[in-house]
Amino acid sequence: MKASLWPLWSPDGTAPLAFLLSPLNLLAIVLLLATLFLLWLMWLRIKVDWGAEETVLGKELAGKETVAFFHPYAHAGGGGERVLWCSIKAVQEKHPGVVCVVYTGDQDVKPEDILEQAKKRFGVPVDPAGVRFAFLTGRRWVDARSWPRFTLIGQSIGSVMLGWEALSLFRPSIFIDSMGYAFTLPLFHFFGSCR
76-116, pLDDT tens digit by residue? 878 889 999 999 999 999 999 999 999 999 999 999 999 99
Q: In the chain, what is the straight-line distance between the N-terminal and C-terminal CA atoms, in Å?
A: 56
Alpha-helical regions (H) of the chain:
23-51, 56-60, 79-94, 111-122, 151-169, 184-192
How far is Cα 32 from Cα 99, in angstroms, rounded to an integer? 43
How far is Cα 156 from Cα 181, in angstroms, rounded to an integer? 7
How far is Cα 19 from Cα 78, in angstroms, rounded to an integer? 61
pLDDT tens digits, 146-168: 999 999 999 999 999 999 999 98
Q: What percentage of the chain reaches a pLDDT higher than 70?
A: 87
- Secondary structure class of 192 (helix, strand, coil): helix
pTM of the complete model beyond 0.85 = no
pLDDT tens digits, 12-27: 556 666 656 677 777 8
Is pLDDT at 7 greater than 90 in this prediction?
Answer: no
How far is Cα 65 from Cα 95, in angstroms, rounded to an integer? 10
Q: Which pLDDT belongs to residue 15? A: 60
Q: Which pLDDT belongs to residue 59? A: 86
Q: Which pLDDT belongs to residue 49? A: 66
